[in-house]
Homo-oligomer: A and B are copies of this chain.
């Protein structure tokens, strides 16, 4: 089968590239209303290509927001069903003057295809479509059942798809979800991401006086909510970067010795990482390596203060109110609700006299960890290893991907994060690119993955 797919890819090499370029030429920027028509064009492109690949029941699901594109192929009864998720929307391209070639005129230079959305996520999700097309073309059938779910709001919070999945878990029933929207740990190194940190994102609001006061006339008597917030929040993290919230670490499940050993074997240089960050030094909890601190240790960050004076020059104001955006990243077995309660309690305990403080939750999500031994994960691992001719590495990400938690919680399926991006793809930045050989290798790996899945039974109905 692989050799037939290889031949198909060879024969259709330039057409596939041409199609991807056409897709990338559509500036489907989800956050800008003036690109609403381009959103429609991107949907139209996908509908056409899903039909051309042989998908059935192709439709544009009109959601409360940008449309979701759906298509399926259910001709493999008794075989597992794979939900292929991706997104067709892209980030705005600003600042335009930093692009070496225009963001919506895809340009191939030294095997890299430069365009906004090249890696995030058009180039990667298009792999799934072309894998289905290739298999149907060379074999007339697919080894597994497929459901495509492609949304247009990933870059703006994914509200429409979240609602759709919550309201329609039945039509999306499947055995495993496949997402290609992450990175390989290093070029040529097949990678599965099996863990994501959870998140509790809050806004902490402190109020003092009725109204903004003059710091000359009231300083020394009126409480300062900005100073108070700074004092409260800075006490939550020790100089050794330990979080000082009682009970915060109680449920933390450390990575297994095997997982830690596998991380130690990854091609990772702390010096190079420091150069990439560009700060005078790296920081974080003593006793943990950089990867472990980012992937498997919880953190607390301040993202912004609102209130008082932020313009140029000086204004002598004691603000009546100030707020701070504060988030905590969580790791396996930490419960967002429990952490939030402990956070709020500690914030209240630390609130100095003269201030009232309120904690608001803006978003929260559970940490995720997939067992590498799961047969579906193993199928993916094997497919990648065969394609890239190297053992697949298992990594985690310190970030959070809400759709992964949604699929786990609502559809009760494992999620395979099979990423073909590279660490230097510059997602969300000027000169985003996609390493073109990974596009073709991606098609090979995905067809192999489906082939291996077909050798496994679908999950028992009771597990759903």
A194 within 8 Å of B by Cβ? Answer: no
Stretch in contact with the other chain, from A304-312, A405-413, A444-452: A304-312
Copies in the complex: 2
| Nearest B residue to A308, CB-CB | B304
A116 within 8 Å of B by Cβ? Answer: no
Q: Are A221 and B280 in contact (CB under 8 A)?
A: no
A237 within 8 Å of B by Cβ? Answer: yes
The CA of A333 and the CA of B390, in the complex, are separated in Å by: 73
Q: Which A226-244 residues have C-beta < 8 A from chain B?
A: 226-227, 229-231, 233-235, 237, 239, 241
Q: Are B280 and A355 in contact (CB under 8 A)?
A: yes
Other A-B pairs beyond A223-B280, A305-B310, 10, CB < 8 Å: A197-B216, A210-B278, A215-B299, A217-B398, A218-B294, A220-B293, A227-B300, A303-B319, A304-B310, A305-B305
A401 to chain B, nearest CB (A): 9
| Nearest B residue to A301, CB-CB | B215
Stretch in contact with the other chain, from A101-109, A139-147, A259-267, A281-289: A281-289
Residues of B within 8 A of A301 (CB): 215, 219, 224, 227, 316, 318
The CA of A300 and the CA of B231, in the complex, are separated in Å by: 13
- The answer, among B237, B290, B317, B362, for a CB contact under 8 Å with A303, is B317
Q: Are B304 and A222 in contact (CB under 8 A)?
A: no
- Scoring A residues 198 to 228 as 1 if CB is less than 8 Å from chain B, else 0, what string do you get? 0101000001111101111111111110110
Q: Are A223 and B400 in contact (CB under 8 A)?
A: no
The CA of A269 and the CA of B305, in the complex, are separated in Å by: 34
Q: Are B221 and A354 in contact (CB under 8 A)?
A: no
A191 within 8 Å of B by Cβ? Answer: no
* Residue among A214, A229, A278, A293 facing the most chain B CB atoms (10 A cut-off): A278
The CA of A208 and the CA of B281, in the complex, are separated in Å by: 9
Residues of B within 8 A of A356 (CB): 280
A212 to chain B, nearest CB (A): 10
A321 to chain B, nearest CB (A): 11
| Nearest B residue to A232, CB-CB | B234
A327 within 8 Å of B by Cβ? Answer: yes
- Scoring A residues 307 to 347 as 1 if CB is less than 8 Å from chain B, else 0, what string do you get? 11110011111110000010101000000000000000000
A352 within 8 Å of B by Cβ? Answer: yes
A45 within 8 Å of B by Cβ? Answer: no
A269 to chain B, nearest CB (A): 13
A2 to chain B, nearest CB (A): 34
- The answer, among B282, B308, B362, for a CB contact under 8 Å with A305, is B308
- The answer, among B231, B303, B399, for a CB contact under 8 Å with A315, is B303
Residues of B within 8 A of A221 (CB): 273, 277, 282-284, 290, 293-294
Q: Are B281 and A218 in contact (CB under 8 A)?
A: no
- The answer, among B219, B306, B329, for a CB contact under 8 Å with A219, is B329
* A278 and B316 in contact, given A216-B329, A216-B400, A220-B398 (Cβ under 8 angstroms): no
Q: Are B314 and A201 in contact (CB under 8 A)?
A: yes
Q: Are A219 and B353 in contact (CB under 8 A)?
A: no
A112 within 8 Å of B by Cβ? Answer: no
A232 to chain B, nearest CB (A): 8
Residues of B within 8 A of A229 (CB): 230
